[in-house]
Structure 1
Amino acid sequence: MSRLAKRVITIPPTVEISLSSQKVLVRGPAGKNELLLHPEIEVIREAEKIWVKSPNLALTGTFNSLIYNLIWGVDKGYRMSLEVKGVGYKVSLRNGELELSVGKSHLDYVSIPCELQVELKSNRIIITGSDKQRVFEFANHIRVLRPPSIYKKNKGIYFLGEEKNLKLRSGKTLRK
């Protein structure tokens, strides 16, 4: 049996949860989110605790984690940082869009979703929001514009701390 399926989720005092048969609505200091439930899922609430029941254990563990992420997101929020590294690589914020100059012949424009906040600090992009999936999806969307180079360090868009884990490849060599 999945250990996540057995996990009981405690609700912080700053978070409000309303349950119905089809969805879970969560409100907190960082925003509000909702989750549509699978027909086989039953969410049970007793005082300040929630748990998920279903005959399908895989669904139980999945929805347990999704509800936990919703509660964490509206209580504390999620944050993702990206670093833009490279000669001449620049990022600026204009009219609700990120303007990226990352070594192409043109500028890349990325519109910021209304539920996310983006902050720029020199070469660092900080994305915050209450929905984990949207924060990480948006961060990856930006990173795909110029992924880290596998041949040379300090070139591309990195997740914060990712540079340490990358393995560089050697370039081609001439045969004689």
Structure 2
Amino acid sequence: MSQLTKRVITIPSTVEISLTAQKILAQGPAGKNELLLNPEIEVIREAEKIWIKSNNLALTGTFNSLIYNLILGVEKGYQAILDVKGVGYKVNLRDRMLELTVGNSHLDYIPIPPELKIEIKGNRITIIGSEKQKVFAFAKHIRTLRPPSIYKENKGIYLLGEDNNIKLRPGKTLRK
């Protein structure tokens, strides 16, 4: 049996949890979120601890992770950091729009979801929010505009620390 299904989640003192049969509502310093529950699982709360019971082990592990991420998100929040690297590549913030110049003949405008906060410092974009899925989905959406180049070093939109993991391929003339 997976250790994740046996995990007991402790609720920090800064987070308030309200539990009903259909959903969990969490509120903390970084925001508030809710999670809809599957009818096959039973969420048990005792004082400052939560655990999950179910006959379906896959659902138990999944909802254990979802509840843990929910609590962590409202307590500390999540952030994704993107580096925009390339000659002439620029990032600006206009109202609730992200304006990117990434080597196209036109500017790319991306509307920012209301639940996310964006900070820009130079060519580094920091996406902050309380929902893990929304933060990293928005980071992935931005990254699709100009993914890291596999032929040239330091060109494209990178997740922080990702530039060390990308293997460069030789060009046509060097493949021989």
Corresponding residue for residue 76 of structure 1: 76
Checking the alignment, whether the CA contact within 8 Å between 1:2 and 1:58 is kept in structure 2 is no
Corresponding residue for residue 85 of structure 1: 85
Where structure 2 has 5 or more consecutive residues not aligned to the other structure, the ranges are none
Deviation at 1:47, TM superposition (A): 0.2
Corresponding residue for residue 56 of structure 2: 56
Where structure 1 has 5 or more consecutive residues not aligned to the other structure, the ranges are none
TM-aligned CA distance change 1:19 to 1:173, over 3 Å: same
Deviation at 1:173, TM superposition (A): 2.3
Deviation at 1:174, TM superposition (A): 8.1
Distance in 2, matches of 1:72 and 1:99, equals 30
SS of aligned partner of 2:152: coil
SS of aligned partner of 1:65: helix
Corresponding residue for residue 66 of structure 1: 66
Corresponding residue for residue 110 of structure 1: 110
Distance in 1, matches of 2:153 and 2:41, equals 47
Percent identical: 76
1:145 aligns with 2:127: no
1:24-69 deviation digits (Å, cap 9, x = unpaired): 1000000000001111011000000000111100000000000000
What letter matches 1:172 in structure 2?
Answer: K
Corresponding residue for residue 38 of structure 1: 38
Distance in 1, matches of 2:21 and 2:133, equals 23
Distance in 1, matches of 2:122 and 2:173, equals 37
TM-aligned CA distance change 1:48 to 1:151, over 3 Å: same
SS of aligned partner of 2:119: strand
What letter matches 2:104 in structure 1?
Answer: K
Q: Taking structure 1 as the reference length, what is the TM-score of the superposition?
A: 0.98
What letter matches 1:48 in structure 2?
Answer: E
Distance in 2, matches of 1:168 and 1:61, equals 37
Q: Taking structure 2 as the reference length, what is the TM-score of the superposition?
A: 0.98
Distance in 2, matches of 1:174 and 1:122, equals 35
Corresponding residue for residue 131 of structure 2: 131
The count of residues paired between Structure 1 and Structure 2 equals 176
What letter matches 1:94 in structure 2?
Answer: R
**Cα RMSD between the aligned structures?**
1.3
SS of aligned partner of 2:151: coil
SS of aligned partner of 1:38: coil
Deviation at 1:175, TM superposition (A): 9.4
Checking the alignment, whether the CA contact within 8 Å between 1:100 and 1:108 is kept in structure 2 is yes
